Amino acid sequence: MQIKITDLYKVAAFLFFTSLPPAAFAQRAGDTLFSAGLIRIVPQDSSGPLTVVSPYVRVIPGSGSTVGNSDTMGLSLTHFYTDNLALVADLGVPPTVKLYGSGALSSVGELGSANKLAPAALLKYYFGDAQSVFRPYVGGGVTYIRYSNAVLTSAFQQVLGNTFGNPLSVSDVSLSSSWAPVASVGASYQLSKQWYASFSLSYVHSSTDATVTTSTGDGTFIMSSNMTLNPLVGFLSLGYKF
């Protein structure tokens, strides 16, 4: 999937690559920083076909899906244990993730949606010394991804009903939760003694299992599909140092 450069990234580039101010402000061991900003989530996704697993096993040919991009607000708390090492807790307002049909399901359009909660903990190494105004960093950590309020669109429910002989069937979906590793690069730019701007780009190696249950009145059919998400997550924020 090709990622377009948005205004968010242009602003980040402007903040990080303009000339540095003459004064230097410390970002040292013991400092705690709180920041808030915008998160852009761009899945690098793929999916397996929807497969009936009960009461019999049958693959529904060409039944692919793809996950759309999403935006939300993010919060971050950073504590420096040394001048270079910091522990970071990231949390975003749960965005609505939308699933779209591909292949044989492309004509359906939107298949469903869910809210995604993915708090993360990372250890980051900041280059430069405590007096540096511009500090690139690398980091790694883990996130726990949980989905809630998962629903299927009426159009997709009708398609499923027709598949099993009853267009008035009712279908629901659940998405599995999982732990996932996170790798991150970025930079912090000190604006004043207390204020700073930051931009990071993270890669989350993640997947989820979708379980769809369709009740026709004559029986219940259970289907599953594995979706690889592997999103790139851009986070542009403004922060305050305590």
Closest CA relative to residue 183, chosen from 231, 116, 226: 231
Nearest of 47, 107, 100, 109 to residue 69 by alpha carbon: 100
Average pLDDT over every residue of 105-125:
96
CB 187 within 8 A of CB 139: no
Structure tokens at 148: 């809630």
Dump the DSSP string for 181-227.
EEEEEEEEEE-SSSEEEEEEEEEE--EEEEEEEEE-SS-EEEEEEEE
CB 180 within 8 A of CB 129: no
pLDDT value at position 167?
87
Cβ–Cβ under 8 Å, residues 93 and 60: no
Q: What is the mean pLDDT of the chain?
A: 90
**pTM, entire model:** 0.86
Q: Identify the band that residue 174 occupies on the pLDDT scale cut at 50, 70 and 90.
A: very high
Per-residue pLDDT, 5: 44
Higher pLDDT, 8 or 136: 136
- What are the chain's domains? 7-241 (2.40.160.20)
- C-alpha to C-alpha distance for 156 and 158, rounded to whole angstroms: 5
Q: Is it the case that residue 77 has pLDDT exceeding 50?
A: yes
Lowest mean pLDDT among 45-49, 71-75, 84-88, 231-235: 45-49
Closest Cα partner for 29 from 77, 82, 88? 82
Are 173 and 210 contacting, i.e. CB atoms less than 8 angstroms apart? yes
196 vs 61, which has greater pLDDT?
Answer: 196
Return the pLDDT at 27.
Answer: 78
Interval 117-171: pLDDT, tens: 999 999 999 999 988 999 999 999 999 999 999 999 999 999 999 989 898 899 9
